[in-house]
Chain A
Amino acid sequence: MNFIPADRYIADLMAEFDYAMDSQKASARTEPSRRSILKFGVAGAGLMLAFQLPTDAKAAPAAKGSKEFAPNVYVRVAPDGAIVIVSKGPEIGQGLKTAFPMIIAEELDANWDDIKVEQAMINQKLYGTQGAGGSTSIPLNWDLLRKAGATARAMLVSAAAQQWKVPASECVTDASVVTHTPTKRTLKYGELANLAATQPIPDEKTLKLKPRAEYKLIGTRKGGVDNVKVVTGEPLFGIDVVLPDMVYAAYEKCPATGGKAVSFNEAQIKAMPGIKDAFIVDGNGIVTEVMSGVAIIADSTWNAFKAKNALRVVWDESTASKDSWTGSRAKAHELLKKTPEKFPEKNGDVDATLKTAAKVVESSYEYAFVSHQPLEPQNCTAWFRGDEIEMWAPTQQPTRGQLAVAKMLGLPEEKVLVHQTRCGGGFGRRLMDDYMSEVAAIATRVKGPVKLTWTREDDFKHDFLRAGGFHQMTAGLDANGKLIAWRNHNVTYTADNKAPVAGSMRAGEFPVLLMANAENGQTMMPLVVPCGPWRAPGSNVTAFANQSFFHELSVAAGRDHVEFLLEVLGERRHLAPQTSGALNTGRAADVIKAAAERIGWGKAQPKGRGLGLAFFFCHAGHFAAAADVSVDANKRITIHKVAVVGDIGPIVNMSGSEAQCQGAVTDAVSTMMDLKIGFENGRVRESNLHEYPIVRMDKAPMNIEVHFIQSENSPTGVGEPALPPIAPAFANAIFAATGERVRQMPFSAQGFSI
């Protein structure tokens, strides 16, 4: 291989997410120190607050005497009463652009209708790393955003107290108004903006954050702040960016990762209508950045696409992927029967315990590769101006993209100006910024701005796939039907012959940490086809194998599945009390019981109908799902109901959080039923959506009950953890209805359909 696979980049990213889930480390990293809270109060312009990371001690300059400020703020209160809240991270449909401002507005005691939300520019010095992934946005920013709001509120109160010459302790706030309680005098926040700007910044230790009982906004249902623009078709997304004299680019890469463009039918392409230029880009050989290809520059997207279709490229495929799905699948089935190459986790002595078992149960599961396919094709717009480049990027990782472009072009970070646009879906695909680096490389050869748009076919050819995988499960039950030994042998892939690709079974997955004699083994097969994180990476597939097997074990033991699961969880305890990233068996038991209750667990079912349940813990979220299905003689499934119960602490936006769970169920059902990606000779087989049947309304689950147990824990993310238990809940329900065990995703491989 003479290029750099995606895995190092992704491993770094995943390590960052894991780190973020460690609540102590996370709060140490994001808590603004007193020194780092900077105030920009400018006469006549109101109050501005900026929170900087502790590493940046220098105040960013505010434009003096001007109402225009550098975008290094979270809160701005204008004299006319308008309140601007800056949302720091990307909006990919997960609702961050609404949830973040809700947290600030809660502590600010602002009237939600007064608030206008602005998207932050990318600036590591002011905001730290800006990105969305791993369901980390809420846990990572919860304290920071509350303090941002509380600080602003405290300064408004102190301004009012000064004006009235009363103690601040006699003033209360609500709906963007300060009231002096004894005299009932009131001042609106806007009226206080200028005076507030002159107040000293309160010591962080004196800030009083609200107790949950006093929340007025957090936990309510708020519609997305961009909804009006979405429904009226206003420009919002990366693909909607239009700049004066902009040209349009398409980019053709080798369909087998690692192939290099040698030559192409240049004269013919350049003679096509609207074509301004066409050239080979060598790229930097980094799969997450720029791989070799042919760029086409045209006067419209359509003319660029037409020329792209007419391209005849000679590729040097000497080091390109030759991977075969069918070949690797056959090999995996052989490897499954052997001893695992290594045991990333090993408690006690599984072999010895199995020998003492009254019953040993063996089973295997597998799942195909799948693709992300967010509906907005990858795209990015760039304007290279010699000593700087300005970019408009729909990405989950704008800071990482900025740094990669800066390095590639030899520019300082601050000369890569990145606007984050709304993203038409993420699901993990936009954690990689290849389109940013590609358009940056192209832009250096174009005068003026250029928008690169991928075709849907490009998105299929060049995704970072969720890896397929294989599991051989072995467990021992004692004479009382108690689980005493557990082994999960996962056969997966590796790009670097060292670590498994993203999306393989991860460390700490349920239930190994709970058992004295349990082990997770792994065997890796080489793979060049790029893999990456796909919504709840690792967990979304491991849950299928683990939780289906748990059900098998309860059946083998002749016990109730729920009761069997609860026994394995044991007494209520937090496995690593210092972190939010570790399983809490009490929270787990609570969601399992609640999901069982909501699906009507234990009720006798007619023939052909069954209930199934599953639990999983990931991304700091405890989630149980239950499904009620009927299966007819042709193995066609009717979904009567899905119940999802989660404990992620307090909910910030109830509407958005329920939507995330409804979406996770739909995504999971779609993927488990019918979706698969094949590849031969390094080339992905599926070319467009007609070969990749993502579920439509007519087959989607339409009766989904979502319930949150809002425990007294710090809030954590909701974008991912609801998804993993869905597929095993369905597989278990299908078994209950038919007696047939589902051993493969997609389920269509066993003839099931919806």
Chain B
Amino acid sequence: MVKLTVNGVERALDNVDPSTPLLWVLRDTLGLVGTKFGCGIAQCGACTVHLDGQPARACSVPVGSIGTQAVTTIEGLGTESKLHALQQAWIDHDVPQCGYCQAGQLMSAAALLKDKPAPTDADIDTAMAGNLCRCGTYIRIRQAIHSVAKGGVA
């Protein structure tokens, strides 16, 4: 049995092989499909979650290696009735095109702002370079992050 704390809720998982990547436990076992499968080799960032607040690629983290670290997914970042400031900024800047990468982008951005509340362009580029957007929404992502860093002013 694997024990896991996801978005503040402790989960006891029977019949899960500890070598299973966290991504597939989230998606197939827990039904949290907001975390996306993109490449399976930690190259695209679509599966970015937080482990104790630090960004991690869920496709490459065996679920048995997580231990007591708290897992936060996009579903735990904010909800429709209580959006995280970054989620609101993403809406305000109409960031998504296809939207598939955006959960991962948001998780990376949220981790960045916790670390650096007023990041420079270079800080943002470095922190976000692990997240691929095939549609090319980078300009709006950077604007949205800055808007939150400045206290919500676009």
Give chain A's interface residues, CB within 8 Å of chain B: 92-95, 221-224, 226-228, 230-237, 239-240, 242, 248, 273, 300-302, 305, 373-377, 422-427, 453, 455-457, 655-656, 659-660, 662-667, 670, 688-690, 694-698, 700, 702, 704
Taking a contact as CB atoms under 8 Å apart, the answer to whether A663 and B135 are in contact is yes
Among B1-58, those with CB < 8 Å from A are: 17, 20-21, 24, 27-29, 31-41, 43-44, 46
- With A93-B97, A221-B94, A273-B17 in contact, is A666–B28 under 8 Å at CB? no
When chains A and B are docked, how far (Å) is the Cα of A708 from the Cα of B90?
24
Chain A residues within 8 Å of B87, by CB: 231-232
Chain A residues within 8 Å of B121, by CB: 702
Chain B residues within 8 Å of A694, by CB: 132, 134
When chains A and B are docked, how far (Å) is the Cα of A655 from the Cα of B143?
14
Taking a contact as CB atoms under 8 Å apart, the answer to whether A697 and B98 are in contact is no
Minimum CB–CB distance from B105 to chain A (whole Å) comes to: 9
Of the candidates A377, A655, A690, which one forms a contact with B94 in the assembled complex, judged by CB atoms under 8 Å apart? A655
Give chain B's interface residues, CB within 8 Å of chain A: 17, 20-21, 24, 27-29, 31-41, 43-44, 46, 73-75, 77-80, 83, 87, 90-92, 94-103, 106, 121, 124-126, 128-142
When chains A and B are docked, how far (Å) is the Cα of A656 from the Cα of B140?
12
When chains A and B are docked, how far (Å) is the Cα of A78 from the Cα of B141?
37
- With A232-B34, A665-B136, A666-B138 in contact, is A697–B125 under 8 Å at CB? yes
Taking a contact as CB atoms under 8 Å apart, the answer to whether A373 and B33 are in contact is no
Of the candidates B79, B97, B138, which one forms a contact with A700 in the assembled complex, judged by CB atoms under 8 Å apart? B138
When chains A and B are docked, how far (Å) is the Cα of A95 from the Cα of B28?
29
Minimum CB–CB distance from B32 to chain A (whole Å) comes to: 7
Of the candidates B37, B83, B133, B142, which one forms a contact with A231 in the assembled complex, judged by CB atoms under 8 Å apart? B83
When chains A and B are docked, how far (Å) is the Cα of A248 from the Cα of B28?
9
Taking a contact as CB atoms under 8 Å apart, the answer to whether A690 and B43 are in contact is yes
Give the residue among B27, B29, B100, B141 with the most A Cβ atoms within 10 A. Answer: B100
Closest Cβ neighbor of A379 among chain B residues? B37
When chains A and B are docked, how far (Å) is the Cα of A700 from the Cα of B126?
12
Number of A-B contacts (CB under 8 A): 197
Minimum CB–CB distance from B99 to chain A (whole Å) comes to: 4
Taking a contact as CB atoms under 8 Å apart, the answer to whether A702 and B99 are in contact is no
**Told that A690-B43, A696-B131, A697-B124 touch, could you supply 8 new A-B pairs with CB distance under 8 A?**
A227-B91, A232-B80, A232-B87, A237-B36, A300-B28, A302-B21, A424-B98, A689-B39
Q: What 3 A-B pairs have minimum CB-CB distances, sorted nearest first? A: A233-B34, A666-B136, A93-B98
When chains A and B are docked, how far (Å) is the Cα of A93 from the Cα of B137?
11
Of the candidates A233, A373, A665, which one forms a contact with B134 in the assembled complex, judged by CB atoms under 8 Å apart? A373
Taking a contact as CB atoms under 8 Å apart, the answer to whether A95 and B97 are in contact is yes
Minimum CB–CB distance from B127 to chain A (whole Å) comes to: 9
Minimum CB–CB distance from B83 to chain A (whole Å) comes to: 7
Of the candidates A226, A239, A659, which one forms a contact with B37 in the assembled complex, judged by CB atoms under 8 Å apart? A239
Minimum CB–CB distance from A450 to chain B (whole Å) comes to: 13
Of the candidates A226, A659, A695, which one forms a contact with B137 in the assembled complex, judged by CB atoms under 8 Å apart? A659
Of the candidates A456, A698, A704, which one forms a contact with B126 in the assembled complex, judged by CB atoms under 8 Å apart? A698
Closest Cβ neighbor of A457 among chain B residues? B40
Chain B residues within 8 Å of A227, by CB: 90-91, 94-96, 99
Of the candidates B99, B106, B128, which one forms a contact with A696 in the assembled complex, judged by CB atoms under 8 Å apart? B128
When chains A and B are docked, how far (Å) is the Cα of A423 from the Cα of B95?
16
What are 6 contact pairs spanning A and B, CB under 8 A? A233-B33, A374-B100, A659-B94, A667-B136, A696-B131, A698-B128
Closest Cβ neighbor of A661 among chain B residues? B136
When chains A and B are docked, how far (Å) is the Cα of A227 from the Cα of B103?
11
Taking a contact as CB atoms under 8 Å apart, the answer to whether B136 and A375 are in contact is no
Minimum CB–CB distance from B50 to chain A (whole Å) comes to: 13
- With A93-B135, A453-B37, A659-B140 in contact, is A375–B100 under 8 Å at CB? yes
Minimum CB–CB distance from A371 to chain B (whole Å) comes to: 11
- With A230-B102, A302-B28, A690-B43 in contact, is A377–B37 under 8 Å at CB? yes
